[in-house]
Amino acid sequence: MNTLQNFAAPTGRFFLAIMFFMSGLTKISQYTATQGYMEAMGVPGFLLPLVILTEAVGGLAIILGWKTKYVAFALAGFSVLSAILFHADFSNQAEMTNFMKNIAIAGGFLTLFVHGAGAYSLDNRANQKSA
């Protein structure tokens, strides 16, 4: 069981975070359109660089298992905030699904916040060196 858990930890981190990493990169290539969408939803467009940084760097940090507890907590908050700001139209089934997806992702990040990165992570490696 321990071997399965060791491989499940990095796989789970990858599955949870790749969407954020890729989304951050996509926002760079579609900067103007993304900024327009944010402004249409009532979110100031000048926040886009912070969003890109949060998604791209935060996603990569989770994938690598670096500062996992801090980043997971931040991305959980980001996921809930984006659910509320962008997907709270419960009369639209697609938006309701996106809202619930973001809440579920926040739950995954809170689990990482509590339990840490697990095996095959930079956090684990740093803990082994300091022991």
Query: Closest by alpha carbon to 117, among 50, 40, 61?
Result: 61
118: number of Cβ within 10 Å: 20
Q: What is the pLDDT of residues 57-110, one digit of tens each?
A: 999 999 999 999 999 999 999 999 999 999 999 999 999 999 999 999 999 999
127: number of Cβ within 10 Å: 12
Q: Using CA atoms, how far apart are residues 123 and 113, in angstroms rounded to an integer?
A: 12
Question: Three-state SS for 121?
Answer: coil
- Torsion angles phi and psi, residue 87, rounded to 5: -135, 25
Q: Using CA atoms, how far apart are residues 2 and 112, in angstroms rounded to an integer?
A: 18
Residue 1: which pLDDT band, with cuts at 50, 70 and 90?
low
Res. 131: pLDDT tops 90: no
Residue 9: which pLDDT band, with cuts at 50, 70 and 90?
very high
